[in-house]
Amino acid sequence: MITAPKGTRDIYGNEIYIWRRLERIIEKLCDTFGYGEIRTPVFEAEELFRRGVGETTDVVSKEMFAFTDKGGRLNALRPEGTAGVVRAYIENGMGSMTQPVKLFYNFPLFRQEKPQAGRYREFHQFGIEYFGAAGALADVEVICVAAAFFARLGVKNITLKINSIGCPECRKDFHSALKEYFKKHIDELCGDCKNRLEKNPMRILDCKNENCRKTAKNAPVGVDFLCGECAEHFEAVKSGLEDLEIDYETDTSVVRGLDYYTRTVFEFVSNEIGAQGTVCGGGRYDGLVQELGGKPTAGLGLSIGIERVLMLMEAQGKFNALIWAKHCDCLPR
């Protein structure tokens, strides 16, 4: 008997109604906030992710499904959503449109990693991308979209953690401090992190190796190296969240696992779904459009793992409400 590939799964029966309802909630939410849908190819040039996401990231160096087509071109199944949307923004001339440009996607992604609870080789993400807005209020809006999504699902006990990793200029001093610190503890690092030390020491902070995590706890923190503009931006983000009464924690260990991030980074985390507790992550990527060949353009966004959200909803007993909702057009509030 031929079975589904490792790390993939079939969706059918009552679960289909849950997925359909989630999709409608996403569409209505994005319409409310003014985000239009975009659908990008399932595969892209491998260079897009290598340049955009970063060669030292686990996503590119370990997890990407890369293949050579019959024309000799090196391609990859999309392992994350942002790089492809940025490529589409540039290629389709969206930079000449009235700014800001606000887009959302809801599609499958692919990573070749060890399958476990809440983590598949084919998985699904809902994400938003916001181009052409450099101010802190844009950061607040993007976070607000995620908070509104979880509120509409009735999901509780999620913690918002935020941090700032600065801009490329103030990050130079941060990287120097990290190199100096980790060189003193090089024997405590895994092989991958020893290689990351010179290329991108901040990636060590995102390593999942237990020894590396213990060593990183006493490493320098990025907020201590922020320039005046980045510090002011971060304070404005926190002030905006407080004005909207969105609770948050400042967590200097949040750096996200992709190289394109600048300034604000954030995660929504739950302790009810085991080790895979991050259900949403995002932040700014003000240099990514230019890095991929476009004009300098501010950008930011987020992504939400649908499978992890479903795990959390199941843990909190929310499935019955969604199955019931197939018979009407409104989710119980």
> Distance of CA 92 to CAs 84, 100, 165, 201, 318, Å?
12, 15, 30, 35, 40
Q: What type of residue is 205?
A: L
Q: How far apart are CA 198 and CA 293, in angstroms?
A: 26
pLDDT category of residue 93 using cuts at 50, 70 and 90: very high
pTM reported for the whole predicted model: 0.91
Contact in structure between 85 and 105 (CB atoms under 8 Å): yes
Among candidate residues 164, 132, 126, 115, the one with its CA nearest the CA of residue 148: 126
> Which helix (DSSP H) or strand (DSSP E) does residue 309 occupy?
helix 306-315
The domains of the chain, with CATH numbers, are 14-163+227-327 (3.30.930.10), 168-219 (no CATH)
Q: What is the pLDDT averaged over residues 311-331? A: 72
Q: What is the pLDDT averaged over residues 198-211? A: 84
Q: pLDDT of 158-179, one tens digit each?
A: 999 999 999 989 888 888 999 9
